[in-house]
Amino acid sequence: EMPVLFKQELQNEEAKEGKQVKLTCELSKPDTPVKWMKGDTVLYASEKYEFKQRGTVAELIIRDVKLIDS
Task: Express each pLDDT in 31-64 by its tens digit.
Answer: 889 999 999 999 999 999 999 999 999 999 999 9
> Which among 24, 45, 38 has a CA at the least distance from the CA of 70?
38
Q: What's the whole-model pTM score?
A: 0.87
Q: Do 62 and 19 touch, CB atoms closer than 8 A?
A: no
CATH 3.20.20.300 is right for the domain spanning 6-62: no
Q: Give pLDDT, residue 8.
A: 86
